[in-house]
């Protein structure tokens, strides 16, 4: 089977995997899986497992681990993307889905001067991320933090590269900023909501060690800007998901 499946670490023990009900139904009803078929299961915490199905029922699939690897599909750099909350939840969810595909490590919804009161549907976002993780063949499920201010985030973050997207005269192209920062294992990128950051927020970010960066001459939607910034950082650091398709493995 070419599709990846998800099972939490609690469902993987003693060399066997028991798929969650929804995943089991997909194997049984949609894919018509049978005993002896092989498939790949990921646990969202870096575990990647090639397994052989032992038992298939409408709501239960049990399999034996044949091969185990770690961090398959994961980028070499941990990128935290902080994006201002958007007016439409659907657009923020689109950003989350695509950010997972591009290799984001952590997502932080930002409450800024220009954001409108909005909440984050945690269960919905988790479902979106699980689907994206399986689709792009990653093995780790990114973390989504609670909405917070840029100041709080910057005060609590320990990363090697700090960038704030801002179309000001002092901004440099984002790829140039990443190249000049040199090799790094972690980065934090701040992107504003519709309307961008307020000048005071940019000043505070710069004071906290962020370098102002631009994404080019075109004006982008906030979620598009976030994805463009993420790809620029992941691509420039050589940490794209394709950099670790094999992971670290051992035979079961």
Q: What is the pLDDT of residues 20-45, one digit of tens each?
A: 999 999 999 999 999 999 999 999 99
DSSP-assigned beta bridge partners for residue 161? 187
> Which pLDDT band holds residue 93 (cuts at 50, 70, 90)?
very high
The pLDDT > 70 percentage for the chain reads 93
Structural element, H or E, at residue 97: helix 89-102
Give the span between the Cα atoms of 144 and 244, in whole angstroms: 23
| Confidence (pLDDT) at 244 | 53
Asked if residue 173 has pLDDT above 50, the reply is: yes
Residue 110 pLDDT > 70 = yes
- pLDDT band at residue 246 under the 50/70/90 scheme: low
Q: Which residue has the tokens 């060690």?
A: 209
CB atoms within 10 A of CB 249: 14
80 phi/psi in degrees, rounded to 5 = -100, 120
E strands of the chain, at which residues? Answer: 4-6, 12-13, 16-18, 38-42, 47-57, 60-70, 78-84, 106-110, 143-144, 161-165, 172-173, 186-191, 211-214, 248-251
Place of tokens 């979620």: 223
- What's the predicted TM-score (pTM) here? 0.89
DSSP 104-150: -SEEEEE--TTPPS----HHHHHHHHHHHHHHTT-SBPPEEPPPB-H
**Residue 111 is encoded by which pair of tokens?**
């409450």
Domains and CATH numbers, the chain: 4-70 (2.40.240.20), 78-241 (3.40.1280.10)
Residues paired with 167 in a beta bridge: none
Is the pLDDT confidence value at 196 over 60?
yes
Q: What is the pLDDT of residue 219?
A: 85
Determine how many CB atoms are found less than 10 A away from the CB of residue 126.
Answer: 14
Q: Is the pLDDT score of 119 beyond 50?
A: yes
For the segment 150-178, the average pLDDT, to the nearest whole number, is 94
């Amino acid at each position: 089977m070419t599709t990846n499946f998800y099972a939490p670490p609690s469902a993987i023990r003693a060399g066997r995997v028991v798929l969650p009900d929804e995943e089991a139904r997909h194997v049984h009803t949609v894919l018509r899986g049978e005993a002896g078929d092989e498939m790949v299961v990921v646990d969202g915490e870096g575990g990647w497992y090639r397994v052989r199905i032992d038992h298939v029922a409408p709501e239960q699939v049990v399999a034996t681990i044949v091969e185990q690897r770690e961090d398959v599909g994961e980028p070499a750099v941990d990128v935290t993307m902080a994006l201002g909350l958007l007016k439409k939840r659907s657009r923020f969810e689109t950003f989350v889905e695509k950010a997972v595909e591009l290799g984001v490590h952590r997502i932080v919804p930002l409450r800024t001067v220009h954001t409108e009161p909005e909440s984050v549907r945690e269960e919905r976002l988790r479902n979106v991320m699980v689907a994206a993780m399986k689709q792009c063949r990653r093995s780790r499920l990114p973390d989504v933090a609670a909405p917070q201010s840029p100041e709080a985030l910057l005060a609590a973050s320990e990363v090697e590269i700090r960038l704030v997207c801002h179309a000001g005269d002092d901004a440099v192209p984002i790829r140039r900023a990443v190249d000049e920062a040199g090799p790094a294992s972690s980065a934090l990128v701040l992107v504003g909501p519709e309307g961008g950051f307020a000048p005071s927020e940019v000043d505070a970010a710069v004071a906290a060690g962020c370098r102002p960066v631009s994404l080019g001459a075109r004006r982008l939607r906030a979620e598009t800007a976030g994805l463009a910034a993420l790809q620029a950082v992941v691509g420039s650091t050589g940490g794209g998901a394709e950099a670790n398709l094999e992971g670290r493995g051992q035979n079961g």
